[in-house]
Amino acid sequence: MAASSFSVTNHISKSNISDFNSSFTNQRSKNLLFLKFKLSRKLHCRRRNFLVSKAVTGNQQLQKLADQSVEQETTDTSDNGILVPDSESVISSIKYHAEFTPLFSPEKFELPKAFYATAESLRDTLITNWNTTYNYHEKMNVKQAYYLSMEFLQGRALLNAIGNLELSGAYAEALRKLGHDLEDVARQEQDAALGNGGLGRLASCFLDSLATLNYPAWGYGLRYKYGLFKQLITKDGQEEVAESWLEMGNPWEIPRKDVAYPIKFYGEVVTGPDGRKQWVGGENISAVAYDVPIPGYKTKTTINLRLWSTMVGPEYFDLKAFNSGDHAKAYEALKRAEKICYILYPGDESHEGKTLRLKQQYTLCSASLQDIISRFERRSGDAPNWNEFPKKVAVQMNDTHPTLCIPELLRILMDVKGLSWKEAWGITQRTVAYTNHTVLPEALEKWSLNLLQELLPRHIEIIKMIDSELINTIIDEYGIKDLELLKEKMNQMRVLENVELPASVLELLVQPDEIAIADSIEEEEKSEEVTEPISENDALEVKVKKDAVVIKKVSFDPDPNSAKMVRMANLCVVGGHAVNGVAEIHSEIVKNEVFNDFYKLWPKKFQNKTNGVTPRRWISFCNPELSKIITKWTGTDDWVLNTEKIDQLRKFADNEELQSEWRKAKRINKEKIVAFLKEKTGYLVSPDAMFDVQVKRIHEYKRQLLNILGIVYRYKKMKEMNADERKAKFVPRVCIFGGKAFATYIQAKRIVKFITDVAATVNNDPDIGDLLKVVFVPDYNVTVAEVLIPGSDLSQHISTAGMEASGTSNMKFAMNGCIQIGTLDGANVEIREEVGEENFFLFGAKAHEISGLRKERSEGKFVPDPRFEEVKKYVRSGVFGPYNYDELMGSLEGNEGYGRADYFLVGKDFPAYIECQEKVDEAYRDQKKWTKMSILNTAGSHKFSSDRTIHQYASDIWMIDPLLLPN
């Protein structure tokens, strides 16, 4: 029996009236929440079996507090229309959820239960604002942006939501009366394991800014059950175990079981009786929506992060196989569907791993687009005008992971909605935009043509059509006179790599071994009557003329020894209307190197949008001590929304009172780090030392290896001195590392092992004491960053120049008054400009020098600094334990070969790096100067708010406007 065609209209979600089931008007929603507060109080007064115990107070006191709360109802509404319950209302709401939405037994009210009840209480307010936002956006039917990302690194949500809703006081007081501290309750929350690094954190900052600035927008991602991994640090280095963040459930998410879309893999493409292509058969699963509300700061606007989870229905459970004892076969289809959303970035060295990654990417794209199209159709009424689609929808692809949005949107428009290729292609190009986040070749994704053909057969047909369109454009641009040039441009620009050209194009380009001019000479000879013998010289002249017009044949045949690939980044550039880099230097590299041919073809398509981070989470909430100082000296707390006001700190940078307050705030934050490191690692460090921090994903280009080799050199020099000499020469330092190495990235894991071995040796050396400590913080995440960044003195952003697109941790450190040492790479360039060159420790080769330096290395002309050779020899001496570091040190040696030749120029930059670190020591000894530098770093960081970035995306790429909710 033939399988039915894969159709959005056949399988569309039944929630076509409202995704939120929110039929209440704004006022009725408020009244409902007021009623819930009142009802919860009465219920708690009447029920005797609600037993709550906690660490300090007993049941009688809690019951007394509940009784008092009934008499003191003063719930209010703020000026901006946000529901603002007082502490007594919050108490009642928390107690209501502790009893009626329980995850725990009723006997106790300990911290885990307090967290879930508090989060669910807060979620009531979020849902009220969320439904109001959604309904108003539906009513106004304005253009909306949709941000698709494989990662959203959110961090803990409780304090962020409480802060954005301006409910910190009410919740802190309520929990205090219930016997708990708000900070202690907040620490019970696990970070959502939906991301890994800067890509995901940027996406979360963008959502915060979109909500805060009242833009109509949603985020789309996947709901990973086990995250990337939880990092353990053992004697063997990094070990990975599955994340457990969903073990107790996620109080912020709302399952939308009625919002589900079909996702198909494999199968075949057939042509229906109406001439439309149909994708039939294959493997079918469902993507089910889980919604997470994202509140804005001081606004009712609460937008949505929709996460997809994959499953199949119970009919796919093979009961017959199960009862016959073949249990694995019985639930094979269930597991095959569910595993798509098990892990972020599953290992892709195997065919199965590659297939799973592609399934993840397609699931994100297909489910999200089906949802977006469903919303567009609902808002458009009975007869949607598809030409209006780009005027109502903006789709932003965060890096190349959502590239399949392009062929998927085309598939739906052509195969399901019946549009022509020309119509669908125009709509797609006007709808989709692409953010490039990397210049690393391995991160500019390429996928096997054969794998895509097998997994997504209809999409490969569409990608070939896109490639044909591009080929025609290239030929129109460059012509066919210079076939060598044309071949070069084809090889660089085509979406399909090492794939034969379409037959119609080959016919145009095929050339004989000798061009027609030579033939014409022969014809001339035959047609002319010879009246006299040709001289020897004349014959030679004719031969030379013939030889001169012989042109070597240019072959456009694919290389049979190379794989056929699909270049996702090229597809993004061709299929979208805008391409942006994420820092000024990165955008120039994108235009002049990575996509130079495309830039020459479509210069207006390329833009820069320097990244930013939200000042709410990264100053106001994570660093309250500093926030108070900024508010005092700028005269307003409006800087949280308008960060340019932070620049006013510049004029007070020499003020002794401000400097004294600044140092006190830094000391408080450093003492928090001391306690945190003791708890997480067992190492005890001194807050009097300089805290020198490098926290980011472990990768060779980020050069944690350069940092740790610098520390080894420092340690070796200390060991060569007596105690007095050491104290005079070196400033005490605590060198802190954090970050995850991908489970299959062997060299990165060697670097982690090396850092921990150095730490074990240095930290237990009685000669060194507090003069030098090295600490690797396990399982680095947003919550860890919120502890480390406010108390850091120096942060390291030392990637090989030209290889870091932007970075965002550098912005967070600058905001918190941390001085940076770094290269002219990514956003470092702009940070240095804003904070002042004298307030940034610069070293290293420049981006334009890198290719020449690598060439110098390959030619054997590089001469390493003696200090670099000295430190490698010291590592190999075994001073840091029995582990064999030949592979790691060997990567820094030789002139060529895989894993050799110091591709990331650690050796080249090493002498400049250690000399720059000497300047850091010198500056830190002058605390007045250092404090001024710190103040100026914060003052100069105002540019790097994600609010500024989002305004630029909205006006230049998405063409959307803020939409304020009525009070």
Which residues are annotated as catalytic? Answer: 437, 696-697, 702, 808, 812
Phi-psi region of 802 (alpha: psi -120 to 50; beta: other; left: phi over 0): left
Structure-token pair, residue 635 = 């005269």
H helices of 826-953, where? 828-835, 850-858, 866-876, 886-890, 906-925, 927-939, 946-953
**Could you tell me which residues come within 8 angstroms of residue 49 by beta carbon, excluding any fewer than 6 positions away?**
106
Of 703, 920, 917, which Cα lies nearest the Cα of 798?
703
Coil, strand or helix at 561: coil
Structure-token pair, residue 201 = 């954190």
Of 691, 710, 653, which Cα lies nearest the Cα of 843?
710
Q: Give the whole-angstrom CA distance, residue 383 versus residue 912.
A: 66
Residue appearing with tokens 């006299």: 532
Q: What is the DSSP letter of 967?
A: -
- DSSP state string for 640-702: GT-GGGGGGGGGGTT-HHHHHHHHHHHHHHHHHHHHHHHHHH-----TTSEEEEEES---GGG
Q: Exposed/middle/buried for 471, CB within 10 Å: 0-12, 13-18, 19+?
A: buried
Q: Give the whole-angstrom CA distance, residue 465 versus residue 276.
A: 15
Structure-token pair, residue 110 = 């300990």
64 and 177 Cβ atoms separated by less than 8 Å? no
Of 952, 825, 730, which Cα lies nearest the Cα of 209?
952
Q: How far is CA 260 from CA 12, 16, 504, in A?
A: 7, 11, 42
Q: Residue 169, Cβ neighbours under 10 Å: how many? A: 14
Q: Residue 922, Cβ neighbours under 10 Å: how many? A: 11
Q: How far is CA 322 from CA 193, 202, 311, 328, 331, in A?
A: 33, 45, 19, 8, 8
Residue appearing with tokens 């955008």: 587
Q: What is the DSSP letter of 372?
A: H
88 and 131 Cβ atoms separated by less than 8 Å? no
In what helix (H) or strand (E) does residue 290 lie, and over which residues does it extend? Answer: strand 283-295
DSSP E strands in 747-896: the ranges are 772-777, 794-797, 819-822, 840-842
Coil, strand or helix at 796: strand
Q: Strands 496-497 and 237-241, how do they pair?
A: unpaired
Coil, strand or helix at 882: coil
Of 107, 112, 206, which Cα lies nearest the Cα of 154?
206
The amino acid at residue 145 is A
**Could you tell me which residues come within 8 angstroms of residue 274 by beta carbon, excluding any fewer than 6 positions away?**
none
831 and 944 Cβ atoms separated by less than 8 Å? yes
Q: Which residues pair with 842 in a beta bridge?
A: 822
Q: Give the whole-angstrom CA distance, residue 845 versus residue 706.
A: 14
Of 816, 815, 840, which Cα lies nearest the Cα of 829?
840
267 and 279 Cβ atoms separated by less than 8 Å? yes
Within the chain, how many helices (H) and strands (E) appear?
40, 24
Q: What are phi and psi of 603, to 5 degrees?
A: -60, -30
* Intra-chain end-to-end CA distance of the chain, in Å: 57
